[in-house]
Structures are given as C-alpha cells and as structure tokens.
Chains A and B, each alone.
Chain A
Amino acid sequence: MFLKTFLTAGTVVASIGTMAAADVSVMLPANPGGGWDGTGRQAFAAMNEAGIYTEGVNFTNTGGAGGTIGLAEFQNSQSDKPDALAVFGAITVGSIMLNSSPIDLSTYTPIARLTAEHLVIAVDAKSEIQTLQELVDAMKADPGAVPVGGGSAGGVDHIALALLAQSAGVPVADVNYIPQASGAETVTGIVNGTLKAGISGISEFQQFQDQGRIRILGLTAAERRPGLDVPTFKEAGYDVEIANWRGILGAPGMPAENAAEWIARFDQLNESEQWKKVLETQGWDAFYLSGPPFGEFIAAENTRIGTVLKDAGLVQ
C-alpha cells in the first residue's frame, strides 16, 4: 500500500517535471568546467543578458568519449522535441567513427558554429629544429624517431598532424603519434625530451613559449595571429587548415519553425556586445556559421576526417 502511494506520488512529480520542462534543454556532453561546458553555459548566459532568450535553460552534463555518450543519450531522449539543443565540436566527428557510435550527425538539425581554437605545433626551446620545414624533414627521414604528443587518438590534434604528414608525403600510418592524458603532460613531455614535438590548442602552449620552455613552429589557421609571431602551415608550404571548433546542434527531427527560431537567436547572439565580451575574456575566436551552410560544413569535415582516420589505420 505504502509502495503504491509512493509510486503514484512519484509519477505525479515526474509528470509535473516534464510539464515544467517547456524551457529549452541543453545537452553538454562533457564534464563541468571544460570547454564545451563553458561554451554552452556562457552562450545562454550572454543570450539572457542581451535579452534574446530569457526563458529557463536546463543543462545536462554527460561527459566522455568525445561527446558521443552525451549525444547518444540526447538522441534517445530528445529526438523530435522542439526545444532541445546540444553542444558538440570537431572532436565529436572523429569519435563517432572511432567508437562505431550509432550517432549520425547528418540527422541532427544544424544550428550554429560558434567558436574555434586553432592548433599549434611546438618543439623544445633547446631543440635543434627551428622551423616547421625542419620538423617535417625529420619526420620524412624517420617517422618513428619523431614521437609527437597531443590530445586523444583520432582527436583534432591527431588529425592535424596526419593532415600535415599527408601534405608532406609522409605515410600517415607511419607517424609516431602518442596521445597524452592532458595538455600538461604534452608540455612536460616536450621539455623533458620524451616527445620530439607536441600539438595542441594555442591557449595551452602560448604561455610556455612566453616562459621560454618551448618553441612554436606553426599555426593551423588561415592567417597569422596577432600577438603570436608564428607562420601558418600554409605559409610553410603545407596546405593544412584545421580548427578545434565548437557548435550547437538541434535534436534530430526538430520542427523546421523551431530550428529557424533558434538559428535567428544565435545570429542575434553573434552580433551582440555581450557575446563579444565573452569571447574576449575567454580568449575564444569567433568562427560563426549558422543553419544549412553549417550542415554542409559538418558533412565536409566528416569526409575529410574519415579519410584521414582511414589512412592512419584507426578506422576500417
């Protein structure tokens, strides 16, 4: 009897909960405190401040495996819902292939690409390697003897190195890439000589160049970056451009009018002073693209990353 009353009460509470959830629910497929978590929370905070969207926001953090765990949960619980969004990024694309995840990004509703961080490749400050060219030459001569560290296998860092090898004619499968547990370990690995070079986001490396511990050789952006006197990969003669971008997806099957509404809101956010302030304090670069063109961008990344992962022997 007691149990039954308890269960009924539970159902009532649960249904009230669902009704109250007419607000937008946002999946943050990462642990609190990380980059994706920050992107989602800061974007909605800025939207609220700018008066673009002032209703409630329900955030869910489900971290792990490049966002594929969170997105799988999102897909199961939020498909066809009008107001369900998820943060994701470049890493997700490769992770889906690596983990044979059932997620198909093309079924999602592309809303907006918000920010990007470009990558840099660096060697020890005392290394005899002075330029990107010299590093690539060393890789050409003996790829195994040039261990390069970076983020998780199949992640953006790995893809960037593979693209560099590809454009220089070094067999991607021979590249000695060693995924490191954290950016801290990549930096210490470069300095103590375990790694010949390391690849990571600018924010993780720049201060260590300022401290005189490492030397940054190249940048994966289209143009040079103010405040960082480093040539791009393209200038050095390698046609590689890649960024660790982050964006927002709508649930698969999101009704068209809701999608249009959210795209309009993010367009407005992108123009707002509040968002510009967030980008400045966080050190994020704007990399805005919304709606169907963003969908085409995701598809292109999918193809490019898929090819590289196959060449690297990580995906069949």
Chain B
Amino acid sequence: MESLEYLMHGFGVALQPMNLLWAFIGSALGTAIGVLPGIGPALTIALLLPVTVSIGPTSAFIMFAGVFYGAMYGGSTTSILINTPGEAGSMMTALEGNRMARRGRGAAALATAAIGSFVAGTLATFALTFVAPFVAELAFVFKPADYFALIVLAFCSVAVVMGNSRTRGLISLFLGLGMGVIGIDNMTGQPRLTFGQAELLNGVELTVVLVSLFAIGEILFVVSRYDPGKEAPLVVSGKWMTKQDFSRSWRPWLRGTAIGFPMGTLPGGGSEIPTMLSYTLERKLSKHPEEFGHGAIEGVAGPEAANNAAAAGVLVPLLTLGLPTSATAAVLLAAFQNYGLQPGPNLFTSNADLVWGLIASLYIGNIMLLVLNLPLIGMWVKLLSVPKPQLYAGILIFALIGIWGVSGSEFDLMVMVLVGVAGYVMRVYDFPIAPVLIGLILGPMAEYQLRTALTAAQGNPATLIETPISITFLTVAALVFIVPMLVKRLRQRG
C-alpha cells in the first residue's frame, strides 16, 4: 500500500495550520459562490489566479480544492430553497428539493444534499486516491459513438419529467433543442439562428436560461396568483432527517456516487448527465414513485451525490494525465502551469508533497464543508418564513445580480426577461420546464458527438453500434424508454 503511506504524508502537509486555514477559506468561498447563481468554480478560480503569486503552490491548490468542492455543496441550497439552480448540475436537485421545501421539509432536503455530498465526495476522493490511474484510462476508451449512446440514455430522463401530457413535454423538449442550435456551428464555423446578433454567436448562455426559467418564471407565476388574505404561513419543520429519510437516502447516495465518479473522469462527461441518470434511476427504483414530482427525498439524495462524485472524478485525468476534462479543470491546469508544474504521471513523484497534500486536503475539505453546511441549514430554512412579497422580490434581485455579475451584458438581462416571461407562460399552461433544459444541455452534446462519429467514419451510420460500450448504453436506453411504453400498449389492448 504505497499510496497509503503517501497519503499519510499528505495529511501531514494538509493538517499544517496555515493549510487548514486555506482549506477553510476555500470551502467558505466555494459555498458562497455555489449559492450565488451564475458564478461557478471555474470563474472563481480563474479570478483567484493572480492572487496566488504570493502564496505557495500547495496552499493555493488546497484553497482551490475547497472552492471546487464547496461550490458543489452550495449549489444545492438555492435549488432547494428558492427553486433557483445556479448551475446545470443542480437542476435535477431543484425538481424534488424545492417541492420538499414547500411542504416544509426544506431542512431534510438540505441535510440529505449536504450529507450525500459528503458521502459522495469522500468515497470519490477515496477512489481518486487508490484507483485513479486505472480509472483515468477510461478517458482514452470512450469514442464519440459511445458518448452519443450515453447521451441517448440520458435523454431518457426526459420521459420521467414529462408531466401529465406527452405532447406538452415534447414541445418543451424541442424548445430546448431549438435553443441549443443557436450560435456558431462547431463543425463548420457558420453562425446559426443568430439573426445578425453578435451576442448570440456564443449561443444562449445555459445559466441564464436555467435561472430565468426556474426563478423568474416561478416568481411571475406566484405574483400573478398572490392573494395576501389567503397566505398561510409555511409550516417549517426544523427537523433534519428522520430515520426514514436516512433509510431512503443512503442507497441513492451510493448509486449516485457510482454513476457520477466514472462519468466525471470522461472528457465528454460533465456533471449534467450523471445527475440526470441518477434521477431517472432513483425514480425507476423507488418504492414511492408516486412521490416523485411532489418532493421525493431520493430525487435529491441521488443527483446531489452524483454531482459531487463527478466533481471529484474530474480531478482524476487532470492529476494523473494532465488532461483537463471540464472548464474548472482547464483553469486548474492553467494554475499548475503558472507555477511551472505539469500535471501528469510524473507529478506524483516529482511533487509528492503537492499532490498528496492536495488529495489529503480533499478529505479534510469535505469534513469542513459538512461541518460548515449542516449548521447553516437552520439559518437557510428560516429564509422560507420570510413573507412571500419580500422573499420573491429578494430572489428576483438576487437572480438578476447573479447573471449581471458574471457577464455584465445587457443582452443577457434581456434574454432573462424574455425567457422568464416564457417560463411564466409555460407554467400557466402546464408545460413542464425540465425538458427545455434537458434539450438545451443534451442537444448540443448529442449533435457534436454524433457528427464527430459520423464524419470520422465518413458517414457510415454503422459506426454508432460498433463498440460494446455504445451497444450496452443503447440497449439500456431502449429498455428504459421503449419497454414501459410497449408494456402499457399491450396492457391497454389486453
């Protein structure tokens, strides 16, 4: 157990008081930016880069690790409390988490998110410590056709968030797919559906749509139906998780980790696909499927764990191969290069202090985040007892500032208003919102992988079913999506 020895040495580094302080600063900062919609860890670390000139690499990376993990913890808070996911990875959390909060179970939702994040973060860090070199090779195995099959499987999560009407659900999905097409076409460099607007060349910013559809649409809807005489104060149960909550949460935590970690290590993986898959899986496996859509705790526990495990997964190819697989990882790589370091197999031996100190600080940061976040839950849920007019006005300003703070673009604010109004209309006419975002997130990914696969194979569609991985994913997708429909049809006939 060579790794274990190194890890113990790493703890020696990470437990130095100064490094503990940096880990704490990073964790607190990460939680804060996670709570703010729009600002993600990539941007934060990029803005912190110049500051690090004055501190040593080990301390800097310990702080960055705190920011990185902390953002994943904080992201769930706004999703659950005010239905405003700040980044794509916490979108699925908002679906069930906010319903729970509205039923007065916000504390339980926040607790299962925080503990799930802790469990997933720790297990994934454990995997990072001991199996990283093997898992890293996955990155080289996955071909475009495999990614495409994986995305097809993720599209099945649309089926479970369709709502009452399949037609409305499909309309929502295609709205999202349509928005995903806007911008420069990656393959040819030509602008699509930009109508001569330079701001649209980069496509529609996902966070803007996410925040507008969820928060702005929701606020407009609540306001339009607000009757001050009728407002019943929300009964907030201050109680954290009950025994039953625990027994319903621990399996989703583990499953979420198992899905999230390997997908985080893939260059085309990210945190969105695992959260979607985890949500679908929990919904299929749940003993209380009727609760989904009304606040099922499994629907929070699974995706939150998947989200955090994917974040840890990103570090695997970065540290072992020097391969950045996400925006945050690319910024971290830039940080390494600022110090004249090249991540890769040699880093583990040439800079053992740094690497193992960083890994050890991930364990410590996780504990720190749990300790930091659990007491905050009591404070957060009090937010829900704020009277609706003040609360919703506050959320509106908060969301606008979040988006303005990231881009400083008037155009984005206009998009926000437009999409927000569209979100309101969709709510009034009972169109589900999640399929729009699933379309917007997965559409461009699917297009890119499909076109890469086909172009590389000179247009031969057989390439899509040439590898065992793609066949497996496509088969599972067919089972998840088509079989229930067939069964339903057959039953109706019989």
Contact = CB atoms under 8 A, between A and B. Distances in A.
B337 A282 contact: yes
A14 interface: no
B458 A31 contact: no
Given A69-B201, A176-B455, A281-B340, A187 B186 contact: no
Contacts of A144: 458
Interface string A170-186: 00000010111110110
B11 to A, nearest CB: 29
Contacts of B185: 153
Nearest to A176: B455
Contacts of B268: 181, 185
Nearest to A33: B46
A65 B46 contact: no
B184 A179 contact: no
A207 B322 contact: yes
A224 interface: no
Question: Chain A: interface residue count, which band?
Answer: 35 or more
B219 interface: no
Interface stretch (B26-34, B109-117, B136-144, B151-159): B136-144
B170 interface: no
Contacts of A160: none
B323 A188 contact: yes
B189 to A, nearest CB: 3
A184 B325 contact: yes
Given A99-B191, A153-B189, A182-B324, A145 B49 contact: no
Contact of B46 (A32, A152, A193): A32
A167 interface: no
Nearest to A315: B189
A65 B337 contact: no
B452 A194 contact: yes
A179 B186 contact: yes
Contact of B45 (A33, A208, A314): A33
B323 A65 contact: no
Given A152-B186, A195-B456, A65 B201 contact: yes
A187 B323 contact: yes
Given A32-B43, A33-B45, A69-B202, A192 B456 contact: no
A179 B187 contact: yes
Nearest to A281: B340
- The residue among A64, A68, A154, A208 with the most chain B CB atoms within 10 A of its own CB is A64
Interface in A68-112: 68-69, 72, 94-95, 98-101
Contacts of A194: 143-144, 452-453, 456
A23 to B, nearest CB: 17
A60 B408 CA distance: 10
B387 interface: no
Contacts of A72: 198
A98 B143 contact: no
Contacts of A195: 456
A184 B268 CA distance: 9
Interface string B340-372: 101011000000000000000000000000000
B471 to A, nearest CB: 16
Nearest to A195: B456
A38 interface: yes
B198 A147 contact: no
B126 interface: no
B189 A98 contact: yes
B375 interface: no
Interface string A199-220: 0000100011011010000000
A250 interface: no
B198 A178 contact: no
Interface in A30-84: 31-34, 37-38, 41, 45, 60, 62-65, 68-69, 72
B132 interface: no
Given A99-B184, A281-B338, A176 B458 contact: yes
B8 to A, nearest CB: 28
A192 B202 CA distance: 29
Contacts of B324: 182, 184
B323 A314 contact: no
A10 interface: no
A293 interface: no
B321 A211 contact: yes
A41 B323 contact: no
Contacts of B337: 203, 282-283
Given A69-B201, A182-B267, A188 B455 contact: no
Contacts of B45: 33
B331 interface: yes
Contact of B190 (A41, A68, A98, A188): A98
Contacts of B201: 64-65, 68-69, 99
Contacts of A189: 144, 452, 456
B140 A33 contact: no
Given A32-B43, A182-B324, A211-B321, A69 B189 contact: no
A32 B49 CA distance: 9
Interface in B397-443: 408-409
Contacts of A119: none
Nearest to B330: A33
Contacts of A154: 189
B199 interface: yes
Most buried by B among A34, A145, A152, A207: A207
A147 B267 contact: no
Interface string B24-59: 000000000000000000110111011000000000
A181 B334 contact: no
A211 B50 contact: no
Given A33-B46, A65-B202, A211-B344, 17 more contacts: A32-B46, A34-B334, A60-B408, A68-B201, A69-B202, A98-B184, A98-B190, A99-B189, A99-B201, A153-B187, A178-B455, A181-B268, A182-B324, A185-B268, A189-B452, A192-B140, A194-B143
28 contacts: A31-B46, A32-B46, A37-B46, A38-B334, A69-B198, A94-B189, A95-B189, A98-B184, A98-B190, A99-B189, A99-B191, A99-B198, A154-B189, A176-B455, A176-B456, A181-B186, A181-B448, A182-B330, A184-B317, A184-B323, A188-B323, A189-B452, A191-B140, A193-B143, A207-B342, A207-B344, A210-B344, A211-B321
Interface of B: 42-43, 45-47, 49-50, 139-144, 184-191, 198-199, 201-202, 267-268, 317, 321-325, 330-331, 334, 337-338, 340, 342, 344-345, 408-409, 448, 452-453, 455-456, 458
The 10 closest A-B pairs by CB, nearest first: A153-B189, A33-B46, A32-B46, A64-B202, A65-B201, A33-B331, A154-B189, A147-B456, A98-B189, A184-B267
